[in-house]
């Protein structure tokens, strides 16, 4: 990607000439993710999806489940695109905070998530 330099507010141009606000690179890969949380009632909740993108500070995932009300959200991400779940691959676990929710045209919701603590298993 061609570096177009930084502007006064720190934005960098991307390959299409538009301004890029991200401070870290994004990895665009549909890694499987299991999302675990606790409902306000105390019930354990869980859903599975695939990431849209991942960076050092967060991730973006599209879900049919609305996890905005979940507490103590944990994301378990398997860094593999192998079709078999039995293929060994690095896995990390992260505590997550929802930054924003975006309605998608297909009825799903896009969740931008900040990873507050993480570790590899």
Mean pLDDT per 10-residue interval, the chain, length 121 residues: 40 49 81 93 93 93 91 94 87 94 92 92 87
Domains delineated in the chain: 28-120 (2.30.110.10)
**Is 20 in a helix, a strand, or coil?**
strand
Residue with tokens 């507010």: 9
Which neighbouring-strand residues pair with 63? 109
User: If 0-12 CB within 10 Å is exposed, 13-18 middle and 19+ buried, where does residue 101 land?
Assistant: middle
Give the separation between CA 61 and CA 50, rounded to whole angstroms.
7
C-beta contacts of 59-62 below 8 A and 24+ residues apart: 59/33, 59/96, 59/113, 59/115, 60/110, 60/111, 60/112, 60/113, 61/33, 61/35, 61/110, 61/111, 61/113, 62/104, 62/108, 62/109, 62/110, 62/111
Give the pLDDT score at 20: 53
């Amino acid at each position: 990607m061609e570096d177009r330099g930084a502007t006064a507010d720190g934005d960098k141009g991307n390959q299409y000439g538009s301004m890029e606000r991200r401070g870290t690179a994004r990895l665009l890969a549909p890694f499987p993710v299991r999302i675990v949380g606790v409902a306000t009632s105390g019930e354990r909740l869980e859903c599975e999806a695939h990431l849209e993108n991942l960076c050092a500070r967060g991730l973006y995932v599209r879900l049919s489940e609305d996890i905005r009300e979940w507490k103590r959200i944990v994301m378990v991400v398997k860094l593999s695109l192998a079709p078999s779940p039995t293929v060994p691959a690095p896995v990390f676990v992260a505590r997550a905070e929802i930054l924003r929710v975006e309605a998608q045209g297909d009825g799903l919701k896009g969740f931008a998530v900040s990873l507050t603590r993480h570790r590899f298993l």
